[in-house]
Amino acid sequence: MTLEEIVAAIEAAPGCERAMKIFQDCEFGTSDDVQLGAAVEKTCEADFLIRLKPQQQQSYRRELKVCDGKYRNQSGTMYLSFTAFCRAEVAQRYSRRAQKATRE
């Protein structure tokens, strides 16, 4: 599959968990993962972002910034991949919390 086809598959995924699974299965380990991770973030954010209170939104953005800074001083495209996975995992965690809250 091409990068564009993988992004399309992630965007068409029926939810955050499936989007993340596609990302994990199709990762490149390079800067191309930034696009895949962004697609996962977008898919996962659909589960929770509009329901977050302002303080929760700030916490979410802060966690994403931690990911952005984690490998900032490293060179090599694999660190961009690590950052993309970190951000996607944050979005996945928030999605899981939102899903759990709606079931309770």
pLDDT at 91 (0 to 100): 98
37 is written with which tokens?
């991770």
Whole-model pTM? 0.94
- Mutual angle of helices 3-11 and 33-45, in 10-degree steps: 10
- 104, pLDDT greater than 80: no
Q: Which domain holds residue 19?
A: 3-103
pLDDT at 102 (0 to 100): 79
- The total domain count for the chain is 1
Q: Is the C-alpha dihedral spanning 46, 50, 53, 57 positive or negative?
A: positive
Report the candidate in 24, 3, 8 with the shortest Cα–Cα distance to residue 92.
Answer: 24
